[in-house]
Each structure stands twice: as structure tokens, then as C-alpha cells.
């Protein structure tokens, strides 16, 4: 059994789509980044790679590589799922949290869980995704950015 932690932050800017958990959420601001800046999928991938002591997504998908410019993070997550499988592991469960003052994530959470579950080929009940504000405190509270944290537990197949 192996456990890993993941954390990511992206800045909120005008003129970008807000992509979180593999879906576009209607909002006036979006997250900035080299890829689609999907802060939740990035934190989840880092927790999974961390459980295998493989490093982080920056090591596998460098932000200096034009192949990853604006890439859909679901494509990166499919690669990570392949590494897990090739190393003889499967996801036992993942739990994660999105830290955002706005917009409301609750209506989208089950669709995000479905996407992550299908990529890792596990049951939706094995994927936890939650959301919280920071009561207007800190960079998330000032709506300067959104962060996400994740923990993954992997077991031998």
C-alpha cells in the first residue's frame, strides 16, 4: 500500500476558460498555465505520482515543452494512469479538495468524479472531490487564484 500527496495552484485571469476536474465551468475568469491549467487534475496526478515516488507532473510533462501547450490535462492523466498500471498498482482511493472562493463547484463535482474514475478505471465511490472557500481569506479568498489538494492511496493489483 502506498500513499501520496498533491498540491497545485493556478492564477485566475481574464480571457482563459475555467477548466477544473476535466470540465469547463462557466465563469468570467479562467486559470492561467502552460496547459489547460486544470488545478484539480494536476493535484490528483501529483498525489498518484507521489505515491509511487516518481516525482511530479512537471518532471513528466515539462512546461517548457510546446507539446503540452494548452493540453487537456485528461490526456496527461491517462498517461499517469498508464504508469500506475505498468508498475503493478491500482488506485484504492483518492480524496481531494478544491479551494476556491468562486464559482460554486458543487453542481459539477459528480461529473468531475466520473471523469477521474473513468481515467483510472475505478468506481466513482473511490474518488472523493470536495470544495471549500477560505471565507475570503488569502489568495483564493481574494479570487487571485484557485488551489487544490489531493491524497491518493495505491494498492498492488
Ligand X SMILES: C[C@@]1(CO)OP(=O)(O)OP(=O)(O)OC[C@H]1O
Ligand Y SMILES: Nc1ccn([C@@H]2O[C@H](COP(=O)(O)O)[C@@H](O)[C@H]2O)c(=O)n1
Binding-site residues from annotation: 8-10, 34-35, 42, 56-58, 61-65, 100-106, 132-135, 139, 142
Which of 132, 131, 151, 137 shows the shortest CA–CA distance to 21?
131
Pattern of binders to ligand X over 50-89, x per CB under 6 A?
-------xx--xxx----x--x------------------
Cα–Cα dist 118/22, whole Å: 11
Pattern of binders to ligand X over 27-46, x per CB under 6 A?
------xxx-x----x----
Q: Is 115 helix (H, G, I), strand (E, B) or coil?
A: helix
Q: Which residues pair with 148 in a beta bridge?
A: 8, 98
Q: Which residues are annotated as a binding site for a divalent metal cation?
A: 8, 10, 42
Q: How many residues bind ligand X (CB under 6 A)?
A: 13
For β-strands 30-31 and 2-13, DSSP reports them as antiparallel
**Element spanning 142, H or E:** none
Return the residues of window 98-117 that contact ligand Y according to CB under 6 A.
Answer: 100, 104-106
Residues at the contact surface with ligand Y, assessed by CB under 6 A: 100, 104-106, 131-133
Amino acid at each position: 500500500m502506498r500513499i501520496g500527496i498533491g498540491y497545485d495552484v493556478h492564477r485566475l485571469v481574464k480571457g482563459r476558460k475555467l477548466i477544473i476536474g476535466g470540465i469547463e465551468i462557466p465563469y468570467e475568469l479562467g486559470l492561467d498555465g502552460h496547459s489547460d491549467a486544470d488545478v484539480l487534475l494536476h493535484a490528483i496526478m501529483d498525489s498518484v505520482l507521489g505515491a509511487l515516488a516518481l516525482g511530479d507532473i512537471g518532471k513528466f510533462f515539462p512546461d517548457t515543452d510546446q507539446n503540452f501547450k494548452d493540453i487537456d490535462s485528461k490526456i496527461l492523466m491517462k498517461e499517469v494512469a498508464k504508469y500506475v498500471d505498468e508498475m503493478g498498482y491500482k488506485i484504492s482511493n483518492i480524496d481531494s479538495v478544491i479551494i476556491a472562493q468562486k464559482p460554486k463547484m458543487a453542481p459539477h463535482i459528480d461529473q468531475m468524479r466520473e471523469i477521474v474514475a473513468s481515467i483510472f478505471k475505478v468506481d466513482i465511490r473511490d474518488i472523493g472531490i470536495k470544495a471549500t472557500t477560505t471565507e475570503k481569506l488569502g489568495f483564493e479568498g481574494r479570487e487571485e487564484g484557485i488551489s487544490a489538494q489531493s491524497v491518493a492511496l495505491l494498492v498492488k493489483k
